[in-house]
Amino acid sequence: MNEVLCMKNITKRYENGVLANENASFSLCKGEIHAIAGENGAGKSTLMKILFGAEQPTEGVIELSGKQVKITSPKVATRLGIGMVYQHFMLVDELPVYLNVFLGIEKRRGILLDKQAMIRETYELCRKYDMPVDPMAPCGELPVSLRQKVEILKVLARKAEIIILDEPTAVLTPQETEQLFRQLRILRNDGHTIVIITHKLKEMKMLCDRITVMRQGRTVGVVNAADVTEQQLSELMVGNAVLLKVNKSPAHPGKIVAEMQKAVVPGSGRLRLDNVSFSVRAGEILCLAGVEGNGQQQAAECMTGQIAYQGSVKVLGQEVSGRSVRTIRNLGMAHIPEDRMTMGTDQQASLHENLISVDFGSNTRLGFLRNKKLRLRSEQQLMDFGVKGQYHTPIALLSGGNMQKVVVARELSQSPKLIIADQPTRGVDVGAIAFIHEKLVSLRDKGCGIVLVSADMSEVLSLSDRILVFHEGQIVAEITDVGNTSEQQLGRYMLGIDRMEAGS
Amino acid sequence: MKHRFVRPLLNIVVRLALAVAVAAVVLTGACLLLKGNIEEVMAAFFLGPLEDEYAVAEILREAVPLIFTGIAVSLMVRCGQFNMFVEGAFFGGAFLAGVLAPMLGEHAVITPLLTILAGAAAMGILGYIPAKMKSSLGVNEFVSSLMLNYIVFWVVMYLIHGIAADPDYPNATPYLEDTMRLPLLNEDTELSSNLVIALAIAVCSGLFLFKTKWGYALRITGDNPSFADYSGISSDRYVTASQVIGASLAGMGGAAFLLGNYYRFQWSSLPNYGFDGFVITSIAGNNPYAVPAAALFLGYLRVGALQVSRLGDIPNEVIYVIQAIIIILFGAHFFFHARRKGGAGNA
């Protein structure tokens, strides 16, 4: 084994006292694919940001090829041959692929850009690593999976030897994931060393050579992927055994709680929602599945009153159009939004202020908030949902998983009759996923209708009672026998390769 | 509790110290350049405002309009709105008081109180224009409110040279009898009771912002309008309301200021108190409870400046330089923050 990189006893303490890493250690061998696994808030992203120079460690040393280095900025990291692909892509949508790839390191001839050379090199990188990207296409027009390739190309163009990928498969379908893995293997065989941050057990087993497991800021183990089972990995990550299967009995659908009839949502170019009709019943979990941008989000947004539509959308017996969010919520609709940062929370407020936002109006006396009562309730909710933090903690200090728990706590505490859950577990750790799933199932059993929008295959298949697959704004399949459907089959529907005949 | 009060407080103290340091440096520079007596100038600037009860009363008098406009701006900024109409509303409120009080006649306490309420109501109504334009049409409130200032200013100028003027006293409103004015707190120093109103408004605004459901909704809207709308808080409504409330408090301040400190309205230019409001709220960290302290601080600097100019060595202009630097110190931070917030809101 040929160690190229070693991080020793890394501790990262933020100014506000939050301890993100404590005595964490990490080492990389040349030419391996190495996973950093752990729950959200386990400190894996922070550790990698330290390696990439985006954060500075409070204590600890980093050695590259045996020599101690100080990585003070991403620029330094790049010079040392370390590259990172962030989870949220950083591309200029208006520029073509090749200019994005060479952004900041443009090739010049005199004072002019040498476009031909950049196009040629981009093209060669694409060919070498089997990436089907057109160097001339504007980035904004590329699908998510290809934008990710552009990010990888950026790193390669900077001659990175060590490539860090932060949750690269979060936005990909199974087929796209397989393709990405094929390319990563080509990169490894070419001598690159690859680190992927992930919490998907299957992928670690499928792709990686070694796995470093982190828990609560510490590294708790380094294992060979071939030597462990998923169950063992999961135990390492969480500390105790977590069921990956959702425990639930068959659904007993009741009366209709939401209904969409011939709904149309216009978009630029094609319709975002093209004549869609379906209904949701009490006591069932209906999943609107699809690759992002195929209309399932718009269908959910119609029901929550966020976007205008043509046709009819009824929630709990009332037409949504023309009614305020307040009215729809008062009818018994709860909504876990897709984006917890920009919509689901107020990042400048405390946990308490985030927990009372939907029903503070009914807890007042002469206009004054009943703060004592509300505070006790908030404390109770934080305890019930296992959120690490007190009622006055600023929500911005929480990890993604804990933040999502706050959103879920708020929404599920309203005794809803209909829940619109848009990617309720995206970027959330195993423990929190199981918890959120359990809560959703128990509400279903109490007769609540649940609409689940998800891009996560295993979530779709394990949680849903019924699945509607969206493709290009239309429903292309309705799956009622969820238990006997494979990820592969669902993926084929989502990609529009297969289509169920209408009338099912 | 700890991060809620200690950190902002520390922040404010550091910035105040910085402001004092800037004042000292500029004054020293001016003394060296203009051959002033450094010791004398420093004493006048820093100790002069506290030398006797008249000077202290002067600080309080300076602070009153700043408290009103500081509160007005802070409520709007908390909702993410950068509305400059505070300036025009303060001016308009003062003018209205000058016209209305003589019309209502000599009824002690009743006349000034009614006049002040009328000033608040009238400016609230005018403030609805840029507010509604923002919430319904998306018109930038910064620009429209700045324009509204000029409209109010020139209309007042027109009126004061015509129908609103005292026939015996050109370009001014009629004389205010003592009963039409707010009572004095102290005959000797002529400190007006508008200070009490200003402090009461500060406390009420703090209670409103931090304890009531409307204040909560207003803050949430200011932090993140998408989150507000998603939660069922109509952000448009609070965007409008915050600006109307702000304009109305500024109008009230203008009226109370005139009825406390003047015998006629005869201003011929905008007094800048509205713009000072942005400095005040910035020093106060947009917290109404801290606004009076910030206003006292700026008042102290201004009285110090006055004392220095009395010495004769240093021209008054140097004081404006100091003020401008302090405003840049606080203001730069302020507008940087504002833009970041605005960006998030528009995305």
How many distinct structural domains can be found in chain B? 1
Chain B residues whose beta carbon lies within 8 Å of the beta carbon of residue A304: 230
B275 is a domain residue: yes
Determine the distance in angstroms separating the CA of B80 from the nearest CA of chain A, rounded to an integer: 13
DSSP A110: T
The one-letter code for the residue type at B223 is D
Chain B residues whose beta carbon lies within 8 Å of the beta carbon of residue A369: 211-213, 216
- Residues facing residue A279 across a β-bridge: A259
Could you give the C-alpha distances from A493 to A263, A369, A468, in angstroms and in order? 21, 50, 10
Give me the residues of chain A with pLDDT under 50, please. Answer: 241-243, 503-504
Determine the distance in angstroms separating the CA of B144 from the nearest CA of chain A, rounded to an integer: 28
List, edge to edge, every strand of the sheet that includes A285-289: A333-336, A418-422, A449-454, A285-289, A466-471, A474-479
Domain limits at B63?
Answer: 57-304
What pLDDT is stored for residue B316 in this prediction? 74
The one-letter code for the residue type at A44 is K
Inspect the interface and report whether the beta carbons of A347 and B224 lie closer than 8 Å: yes
* CB-nearest partner of A367 from B4, B213, B233: B213
Could you give the C-alpha distances from A312 to A302, A329, B101, B225, in angstroms and in order? 10, 18, 58, 27
Q: How many CB pairs under 8 A join A and B?
A: 72
B4 is a domain residue: no
Residues 7-66 of A with CB under 8 A from B: 16
What pLDDT is stored for residue A396 in this prediction? 86
What pLDDT is stored for residue B37 in this prediction? 83
B51 is a domain residue: no
SS3 A70: coil
B226 is a domain residue: yes
- CATH code for the domain of B154: 1.10.3470
The predicted-structure confidence for B211-237, as pLDDT tens digits, reads as follows: 999 999 999 999 999 999 999 999 999
* CB-nearest partner of B213 from A325, A342, A364: A364
Determine the distance in angstroms separating the CA of A342 from the nearest CA of chain B, rounded to an integer: 7
Chain B residues whose beta carbon lies within 8 Å of the beta carbon of residue A392: 1, 3-4
Residues 377-406 of A with CB under 8 A from B: 392, 394
Q: What domains, with CATH codes, occur in chain A?
A: 3-238 (3.40.50.300), 256-494 (3.40.50.300)
What pLDDT is stored for residue B262 in this prediction? 93
Residues 278-307 of A with CB under 8 A from B: 304, 306
B67 is a domain residue: yes
Q: What does the buried/exposed string (b/e) look like for A309-322 if buried means 16 or more CB atoms within 10 Å of the residue's CB?
A: bebebbbbeeebee
Could you give the C-alpha distances from A499 to A133, A177, A325, A491, in angstroms and in order? 27, 22, 35, 11
What does R_g of chain A's alpha carbons equal in angstroms? 24
What pLDDT is stored for residue B314 in this prediction? 79
What chain B residue is nearest to A329 in terms of C-alpha separation? Answer: B232
B44 is a domain residue: no
* CB-nearest partner of A325 from B219, B220, B232: B232
The predicted-structure confidence for B21-75, as pLDDT tens digits, reads as follows: 888 888 888 888 888 788 888 888 889 899 889 999 999 999 999 999 999 999 9
Inspect the interface and report whether the beta carbons of B220 and A345 lie closer than 8 Å: no
Asked if A329 reaches chain B (Cβ–Cβ under 8 Å), the answer is: yes
B126 is a domain residue: yes
ipTM: 0.84
The one-letter code for the residue type at B110 is I
The one-letter code for the residue type at A467 is I
Inspect the interface and report whether the beta carbons of A325 and B216 lie closer than 8 Å: no
* CB-nearest partner of A343 from B213, B220, B230: B230
pLDDT at B85 exceeding the cut of 90 = yes
Whole-model pTM? 0.75
How does DSSP assign B2-29, residue by residue?
Answer: HHHHHHHHHHHHHHHHHHHHHHHHHHHH
The predicted-structure confidence for B109-156, as pLDDT tens digits, reads as follows: 899 999 999 999 999 999 999 999 999 999 999 999 999 999 999 999
What pLDDT is stored for residue B141 in this prediction? 92
Determine the distance in angstroms separating the CA of B228 from the nearest CA of chain A, rounded to an integer: 8
B260 is a domain residue: yes
* CB-nearest partner of B213 from A16, A369, A392: A369
What pLDDT is stored for residue A243 in this prediction? 46
Query: Which among A88, A325, A354, A359 is the top mutation candidate for probing chain B, defined by the most B β-carbons within 10 Å of its own β-carbon?
Result: A325
Question: SS3 letters for A237-280?
Answer: HHCCCCCCCCCCCCCCCCCEEEEEEEEEECCCCCCCEEEEEEEE
Chain A residues whose beta carbon lies within 8 Å of the beta carbon of residue B228: 357
Pairing type for strands B191-192 and B184-186 reads antiparallel
